[in-house]
Structures are given as C-alpha cells and as structure tokens.
Amino acid sequence: MKASTLIDMANNADPTKAKVSTLGSKAAKKAKVEEKDVTSPKKLAEIVTAMQLQLDELSDALTSSPIASGTLFDNVPCDSGVLLRLRHNFGRRARWSVTNWSGAAAHGFYEDAASDATTLVLVVAVSGYVSLWVT
C-alpha cells in the first residue's frame, strides 16, 4: 500500500483559495467625481448609490463565475511514490492542472482511480513542490 498525504481545504477560509472573474461592462465603467458633485446631498447620494451598484455587480461576478469554486493548493511538498489526496468536496470529480512545479525533473502526476466526488487523489512520480488549481 502506498503512503498518502491528505490536504483538506474544502472548509478553510485560507487565502490560497483563489477566486477569479471576468467583469461585465457595467462594472468596468469609470466615473469621475468632482468637488461640486459632493456639495449637494442629493448628488452625493446618487454617486454613492451608483458606486454600490457597481460593487454589487463585481461581487455577483466573483461569486457566480464557474472558476470561483476552484481551490489553489499552493507549494505542496510531494514525495515520489506516494498518493497525494486533495479534499475539495465539490460533489463531482474534480478537474485539475499543475500551475507551478519545482523538482529535480519534470513532474509526473496522474490521477488515481481512488478519486471521487470529494477527494482528488494523485500519484506522485517525482519528488518536489507543486501548486495545483483544482476546479
């Protein structure tokens, strides 16, 4: 039986959880606020309301992106011949890609048959450090 490493990031508010989004055109609008605009309470309220709408759109874009549910497992130490278990709890088989690798040779990861709807299991062929994007 091979040794294994379990990394559980599914319920962790760790900063390595990456969220990426493409912003819509409304959120990308640029506004210029001048001194004369902030002297009127009514005009100031309109500016603040417009800014809040833009923030709401940005927030919606970040949370609705299919990429937003991904997790970055950053700089994970890997020993040759072990099973690397990455818990994601997506409720489906995960997609994964190596985003960074540091080792004596090219990385050689492949998915093990033990992967399921909550855990990605990778076989490590070469020792080193890996960053994986799991979606």
User: pLDDT tens for residues 88-111?
Assistant: 888 888 999 999 999 989 988 999
Same-domain check for residues 24 and 64: yes
Q: Which domain holds residue 125?
A: 4-18+70-134
Contact (CB, 8 A) for 118 and 87: yes
pLDDT of residue 16: 43
Mean pLDDT across the chain: 76
Find residue 98's DSSP bridge partners: 132
**pLDDT value for 130:** 94
Same domain (yes/no): 76, 129: yes
The backbone torsions φ and ψ at residue 88, rounded to the nearest 5 degrees and listed phi first, read -125, -25
Say yes or no: 122 and 79 in one domain: yes
Say if CB 112 and CB 124 are below 8 A apart.
no
> Based on the structure, what is the number of domains in the chain?
2
The fraction of the chain above a pLDDT of 90, given in percent, is 35
Asked if 49 and 82 sit in the same domain, the reply is no
- Report yes or no on whether pTM surpasses 0.75: no
| Residues constituting the chain | 135
Number of separate helices (H) and strands (E) present in the chain: 1, 7
